[in-house]
């Protein structure tokens, strides 16, 4: 087990919801946190302030992680502000519910870019430093939609399934270099994103309730601490999918 005191973590999409909970949980475990956001500066700054109140360093850093040039700038800003990235949590994403009749290539392309390509871009940018230090933790936030289809649509399910395959690729290539890559796959977690979908109901969850963001964050902290688990998908879904 590796503990996290003094480690630097980058959490994409860290200004609210699951990302915010992950940032706060990693800070409570001892890490310094870069809170990435695209538009919600006030929310990201509030998260950073909470982290500093816990005695850890924090920075709120704007970047569109679907843009290669902005990702390079983001990683450079993290390194200059907080130090080398030890823990990367690819959490940024969108969930646009559509019907089969309204799903088009623009929704498909944007979803893949924001949910999947962004994780690839940030991982590629953070990896050289991890490999040089022979220590790193990559945690990708997927979804149970990757396994059962979900309630958003094929575009979302495909983007989240791609994250799992991508994680397997990194885990196999990085095994033995001190770097792990794993997935957390939540389902029906109570966030603003969930509340915007009228198909989301607690009665469709076997356990009978929506999940809490803190329950997802606990799984991320566990993976960040553990140096022996790699290539795994941790399901936080109330029993919606059992592996």
Report, as residue numbers or ranges, the catalytic residues.
156
Label residue 52 exposed, middle or buried (CB < 10 Å: 0-12, 13-18, 19+): middle
Question: DSSP assignment of 148-213, as one string?
Answer: H-TTT-HHHHHHHHHHHHHHHHHHHHHTTTTEEEEEEEE-SBSSHHHHT-TT--GGGSTTSSPBPH
Q: Count how many Cα atoms sit within 13 Å of the Cα of residue 29 in the half-sphere of its side chain.
A: 25
State the Cα–Cα distance between residues 98 and 120, nearest whole angstrom.
25
Neighbours of 11 (CB within 10 A): 33
**Helical H segments across 31-144, by residue range:** 41-53, 68-81, 105-112, 118-133
State the Cα–Cα distance between residues 49 and 33, nearest whole angstrom.
11
């Amino acid at each position: 087990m590796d503990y996290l005191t003094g480690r630097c973590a980058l959490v994409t999409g860290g200004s609210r919801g699951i990302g915010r909970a992950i940032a706060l949980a990693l800070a409570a475990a001892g890490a310094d946190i870069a809170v990435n956001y695209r538009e919600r500066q006030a929310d990201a700054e509030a998260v950073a302030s909470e982290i500093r109140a816990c005695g850890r360093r924090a920075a709120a850093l704007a970047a569109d992680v679907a843009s290669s040039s902005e990702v390079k700038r983001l990683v450079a800003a993290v390194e200059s502000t907080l130090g080398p990235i030890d823990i990367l949590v690819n959490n940024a994403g969108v969930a646009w519910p559509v019907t089969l009749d309204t799903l088009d290539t623009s929704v498909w392309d944007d979803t893949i870019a924001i949910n999947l390509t962004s994780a690839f871009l940030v991982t590629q940018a953070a990896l050289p430093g991890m490999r040089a230090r022979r220590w790193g933790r990559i945690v990708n936030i997927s979804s149970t939609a990757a396994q059962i289809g979900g309630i958003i649509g094929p575009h979302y399910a495909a983007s989240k399934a791609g994250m799992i395959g991508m994680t397997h690729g990194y885990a196999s290539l990085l095994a033995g270099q001190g770097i792990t890559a794993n997935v957390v796959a939540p389902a029906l977690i109570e966030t603003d994103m969930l509340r915007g979908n009228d198909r989301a109901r607690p009665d469709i969850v076997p356990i009978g309730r929506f999940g809490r963001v803190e329950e997802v964050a606990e799984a991320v902290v566990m993976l960040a601490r553990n140096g022996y688990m790699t290539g795994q998908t941790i399901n936080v879904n109330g029993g919606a999918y059992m592996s």
